[in-house]
Amino acid sequence: MDLVEALAVDGLVCVVGAGGKKTTLYTLADRLDRAVVTATTRIPAFPEAVGRLVETDDPVAAVRGAGDTPDEWPLGLAPGWADDVRYEGYDARTVADVARVAADRGVDATLVKADGARSRWLKAPADHEPVVPTTVDTVVPIASARVVGEPLDEEHVHRPERVAAVTGREVGATLTTDDVAAVLASPDGGLRNVPDDAMVVALVNMVDDDALRATAEEIAAGVLARSDRVDRVVSARMDEARVVATFE
Protein backbone atom coordinates (compact mmCIF):
# COMPACT_ATOMS: atom_id res chain seq x y z
CA MET A 1 0.00 0.00 0.00
CA ASP A 2 1.24 3.50 -0.81
CA LEU A 3 2.49 5.44 2.22
CA VAL A 4 -0.02 8.28 1.82
CA GLU A 5 -2.89 5.83 1.45
CA ALA A 6 -1.69 3.64 4.32
CA LEU A 7 -1.60 6.56 6.75
CA ALA A 8 -4.94 7.96 5.49
CA VAL A 9 -3.35 11.30 4.67
CA ASP A 10 -6.13 13.63 3.61
CA GLY A 11 -7.44 16.89 5.03
CA LEU A 12 -6.20 17.70 8.54
CA VAL A 13 -3.69 15.16 9.86
CA CYS A 14 -2.15 15.28 13.35
CA VAL A 15 0.94 13.27 14.25
CA VAL A 16 1.48 12.45 17.94
CA GLY A 17 3.64 10.19 20.07
CA ALA A 18 7.37 9.52 19.70
CA GLY A 19 9.78 7.85 17.34
CA GLY A 20 9.71 9.86 14.15
CA LYS A 21 7.04 12.55 14.08
CA LYS A 22 9.12 15.10 12.20
CA THR A 23 10.45 12.54 9.73
CA THR A 24 6.89 11.40 9.12
CA LEU A 25 5.61 14.93 8.55
CA TYR A 26 8.28 15.85 6.03
CA THR A 27 8.23 12.48 4.28
CA LEU A 28 4.49 12.77 3.76
CA ALA A 29 4.77 16.40 2.65
CA ASP A 30 7.31 15.33 0.03
CA ARG A 31 4.86 12.74 -1.31
CA LEU A 32 2.05 15.26 -1.85
CA ASP A 33 1.68 17.80 -4.62
CA ARG A 34 0.72 20.50 -2.12
CA ALA A 35 0.85 20.28 1.64
CA VAL A 36 0.91 22.64 4.61
CA VAL A 37 3.24 21.72 7.49
CA THR A 38 2.68 23.34 10.87
CA ALA A 39 2.34 22.58 14.58
CA THR A 40 0.23 23.07 17.69
CA THR A 41 3.34 22.67 19.84
CA ARG A 42 6.95 23.77 19.58
CA ILE A 43 8.68 22.47 16.49
CA PRO A 44 12.38 22.52 15.51
CA ALA A 45 13.51 24.72 12.65
CA PHE A 46 11.95 23.65 9.38
CA PRO A 47 14.33 21.81 7.02
CA GLU A 48 14.91 22.44 3.34
CA ALA A 49 12.15 19.90 2.65
CA VAL A 50 9.75 22.83 3.05
CA GLY A 51 9.40 24.80 -0.15
CA ARG A 52 8.69 28.05 1.66
CA LEU A 53 8.47 28.97 5.33
CA VAL A 54 6.23 31.80 6.46
CA GLU A 55 6.56 33.18 9.97
CA THR A 56 3.23 34.82 10.64
CA ASP A 57 0.50 35.48 13.18
CA ASP A 58 -2.02 35.14 10.34
CA PRO A 59 -1.38 31.72 8.80
CA VAL A 60 -4.82 31.66 7.16
CA ALA A 61 -3.84 34.68 5.07
CA ALA A 62 -0.54 33.00 4.23
CA VAL A 63 -2.37 29.97 2.83
CA ARG A 64 -4.77 32.16 0.87
CA GLY A 65 -1.83 34.10 -0.58
CA ALA A 66 0.41 31.13 -1.40
CA GLY A 67 1.29 30.81 -5.05
CA ASP A 68 0.60 27.91 -7.35
CA THR A 69 4.16 27.21 -8.46
CA PRO A 70 5.82 24.01 -7.19
CA ASP A 71 8.55 25.91 -5.33
CA GLU A 72 5.89 27.30 -2.94
CA TRP A 73 5.11 23.84 -1.59
CA PRO A 74 5.21 22.27 0.93
CA LEU A 75 4.31 25.45 2.78
CA GLY A 76 5.66 25.68 6.33
CA LEU A 77 3.84 27.91 8.82
CA ALA A 78 4.96 29.09 12.26
CA PRO A 79 4.16 32.12 14.42
CA GLY A 80 7.78 32.82 15.37
CA TRP A 81 10.68 31.53 17.42
CA ALA A 82 10.17 30.07 20.89
CA ASP A 83 13.93 29.86 21.54
CA ASP A 84 17.14 29.48 19.54
CA VAL A 85 16.15 26.22 17.88
CA ARG A 86 12.36 25.84 17.98
CA TYR A 87 9.35 27.67 16.63
CA GLU A 88 6.17 28.18 18.61
CA GLY A 89 3.00 26.38 17.50
CA TYR A 90 -0.48 27.72 16.82
CA ASP A 91 -3.59 27.09 18.88
CA ALA A 92 -5.93 24.32 17.77
CA ARG A 93 -8.62 26.63 16.40
CA THR A 94 -6.13 28.48 14.22
CA VAL A 95 -4.82 25.23 12.78
CA ALA A 96 -8.38 24.10 12.08
CA ASP A 97 -8.97 27.35 10.18
CA VAL A 98 -5.72 26.84 8.24
CA ALA A 99 -6.81 23.34 7.24
CA ARG A 100 -10.24 24.54 6.13
CA VAL A 101 -8.80 27.26 3.91
CA ALA A 102 -6.11 24.92 2.62
CA ALA A 103 -8.77 22.40 1.59
CA ASP A 104 -10.71 25.15 -0.17
CA ARG A 105 -7.55 25.93 -2.13
CA GLY A 106 -7.11 22.31 -3.18
CA VAL A 107 -4.21 21.56 -0.83
CA ASP A 108 -3.85 17.80 -0.33
CA ALA A 109 -3.30 17.87 3.43
CA THR A 110 -2.42 20.02 6.42
CA LEU A 111 0.18 18.07 8.41
CA VAL A 112 0.48 18.96 12.09
CA LYS A 113 2.99 18.11 14.80
CA ALA A 114 0.64 17.99 17.79
CA ASP A 115 2.98 17.16 20.68
CA GLY A 116 6.67 16.81 21.55
CA ALA A 117 8.87 13.90 22.61
CA ARG A 118 12.44 15.25 22.66
CA SER A 119 13.64 12.58 20.20
CA ARG A 120 12.63 9.65 22.41
CA TRP A 121 11.11 6.45 21.02
CA LEU A 122 7.93 6.19 23.12
CA LYS A 123 5.77 8.55 25.13
CA ALA A 124 2.49 9.02 26.94
CA PRO A 125 1.18 12.58 26.97
CA ALA A 126 0.90 15.02 29.83
CA ASP A 127 -2.43 16.56 30.83
CA HIS A 128 -2.02 19.52 28.45
CA GLU A 129 -1.23 17.45 25.34
CA PRO A 130 -1.60 16.58 22.58
CA VAL A 131 -3.22 19.69 21.11
CA VAL A 132 -5.54 18.19 18.50
CA PRO A 133 -8.17 20.28 16.66
CA THR A 134 -11.69 18.89 16.96
CA THR A 135 -11.95 18.94 13.16
CA VAL A 136 -8.99 16.61 12.61
CA ASP A 137 -9.53 13.96 9.93
CA THR A 138 -6.73 11.54 10.83
CA VAL A 139 -4.59 11.11 13.93
CA VAL A 140 -1.34 9.14 13.62
CA PRO A 141 0.06 7.96 16.99
CA ILE A 142 3.70 6.89 16.57
CA ALA A 143 6.07 4.63 18.49
CA SER A 144 9.44 3.17 17.52
CA ALA A 145 9.89 -0.59 17.25
CA ARG A 146 13.42 -0.05 18.53
CA VAL A 147 12.20 0.79 22.04
CA VAL A 148 11.27 -2.86 22.70
CA GLY A 149 13.96 -4.41 24.89
CA GLU A 150 15.13 -1.03 26.18
CA PRO A 151 14.53 0.21 29.73
CA LEU A 152 11.54 2.37 30.58
CA ASP A 153 13.69 5.39 31.39
CA GLU A 154 14.24 8.98 30.37
CA GLU A 155 16.85 8.07 27.78
CA HIS A 156 14.35 6.11 25.68
CA VAL A 157 10.92 7.31 26.85
CA HIS A 158 9.42 10.79 27.11
CA ARG A 159 7.45 11.06 30.38
CA PRO A 160 8.41 7.57 31.62
CA GLU A 161 6.18 7.91 34.67
CA ARG A 162 3.19 8.35 32.36
CA VAL A 163 4.12 5.29 30.35
CA ALA A 164 4.53 3.37 33.60
CA ALA A 165 1.01 4.39 34.62
CA VAL A 166 -0.46 3.26 31.29
CA THR A 167 1.36 -0.06 31.18
CA GLY A 168 1.36 -0.94 34.88
CA ARG A 169 5.13 -1.42 34.74
CA GLU A 170 7.80 0.10 36.97
CA VAL A 171 10.12 2.83 35.73
CA GLY A 172 13.31 1.04 34.72
CA ALA A 173 11.56 -2.15 33.58
CA THR A 174 12.46 -3.63 30.19
CA LEU A 175 9.87 -2.60 27.63
CA THR A 176 7.93 -5.29 25.76
CA THR A 177 5.76 -5.33 22.66
CA ASP A 178 2.72 -5.45 24.98
CA ASP A 179 3.87 -2.22 26.64
CA VAL A 180 4.19 -0.38 23.33
CA ALA A 181 0.81 -1.70 22.17
CA ALA A 182 -0.77 -0.61 25.45
CA VAL A 183 0.52 2.94 25.02
CA LEU A 184 -0.57 3.26 21.39
CA ALA A 185 -4.07 1.93 22.16
CA SER A 186 -4.68 3.80 25.41
CA PRO A 187 -6.97 6.82 25.93
CA ASP A 188 -4.12 8.06 28.13
CA GLY A 189 -1.58 7.35 25.38
CA GLY A 190 -1.91 7.43 21.62
CA LEU A 191 -5.68 7.99 21.70
CA ARG A 192 -5.64 10.93 24.06
CA ASN A 193 -7.73 13.89 22.83
CA VAL A 194 -8.70 12.09 19.61
CA PRO A 195 -12.20 13.13 18.49
CA ASP A 196 -14.75 10.34 18.10
CA ASP A 197 -15.13 10.84 14.34
CA ALA A 198 -11.41 10.99 13.48
CA MET A 199 -9.66 8.10 11.77
CA VAL A 200 -6.77 6.62 13.80
CA VAL A 201 -3.79 5.00 12.09
CA ALA A 202 -1.11 3.85 14.52
CA LEU A 203 2.41 3.89 13.11
CA VAL A 204 5.19 1.59 14.32
CA ASN A 205 8.30 3.24 12.91
CA MET A 206 11.99 2.33 12.55
CA VAL A 207 11.25 -1.19 11.31
CA ASP A 208 14.73 -1.60 9.89
CA ASP A 209 15.22 -5.38 9.68
CA ASP A 210 13.45 -8.74 9.93
CA ALA A 211 13.68 -8.87 13.72
CA LEU A 212 12.07 -5.46 14.05
CA ARG A 213 9.46 -6.46 11.49
CA ALA A 214 8.43 -9.32 13.77
CA THR A 215 8.44 -6.93 16.73
CA ALA A 216 6.20 -4.51 14.87
CA GLU A 217 3.80 -7.32 13.95
CA GLU A 218 3.43 -8.23 17.62
CA ILE A 219 2.84 -4.59 18.54
CA ALA A 220 0.20 -4.24 15.82
CA ALA A 221 -1.65 -7.34 16.99
CA GLY A 222 -1.63 -6.00 20.53
CA VAL A 223 -2.97 -2.62 19.48
CA LEU A 224 -5.84 -4.08 17.46
CA ALA A 225 -6.72 -6.52 20.24
CA ARG A 226 -6.89 -3.72 22.80
CA SER A 227 -8.88 -1.08 20.93
CA ASP A 228 -11.50 -1.02 18.20
CA ARG A 229 -10.86 2.72 18.02
CA VAL A 230 -7.70 2.15 15.96
CA ASP A 231 -8.63 1.70 12.30
CA ARG A 232 -5.26 0.43 11.09
CA VAL A 233 -1.70 -0.17 12.23
CA VAL A 234 1.14 0.50 9.82
CA SER A 235 4.73 -0.63 10.27
CA ALA A 236 7.20 1.43 8.32
CA ARG A 237 10.66 2.74 7.82
CA MET A 238 9.96 6.43 7.44
CA ASP A 239 13.56 7.39 6.72
CA GLU A 240 13.11 5.43 3.48
CA ALA A 241 9.45 6.42 3.03
CA ARG A 242 8.60 2.72 2.99
CA VAL A 243 5.59 0.83 4.31
CA VAL A 244 6.67 -2.54 5.67
CA ALA A 245 3.21 -3.94 6.45
CA THR A 246 -0.34 -2.91 7.27
CA PHE A 247 -2.68 -4.53 9.80
CA GLU A 248 -6.44 -4.14 10.20
Residue ranges of domains in the chain: 3-247
As its CATH architecture, domain 3-247 has 3-Layer(aba) Sandwich (3.40)
**Percent of the chain at pLDDT above 70?**
100
- CA dist 103 → 12, 20, 34, 137 (Å): 9, 26, 10, 12
Over residues 240-244, the mean pLDDT reads 96
Does the pTM exceed 0.75?
A: yes
Output the pLDDT for position 1: 87
Residue 48 has pLDDT above 90, yes or no: no
The string of pLDDT tens digits covering residues 143-168 is 999 999 999 999 999 999 999 999 99
Residues 6+ apart with CB under 8 A from 10: 108, 109, 137, 138
Q: By 3-state DSSP, what share of the chain in percent is helix, strand and coil, each rounded to 5?
A: 30, 25, 45
Rounded mean pLDDT, 222-239? 97
Model pLDDT, residue 168: 98
Amino acid 224: pLDDT: 98
User: Is the model's pLDDT at 32 over the cut of 90?
Assistant: yes
Cα–Cα dist 243/236, whole Å = 4
pLDDT confidence band for 13 (50 / 70 / 90): very high
pLDDT score recorded for residue 101: 98
183 forms bridges with which residues in the sheet? none
DSSP-derived letter for residue 69 is S
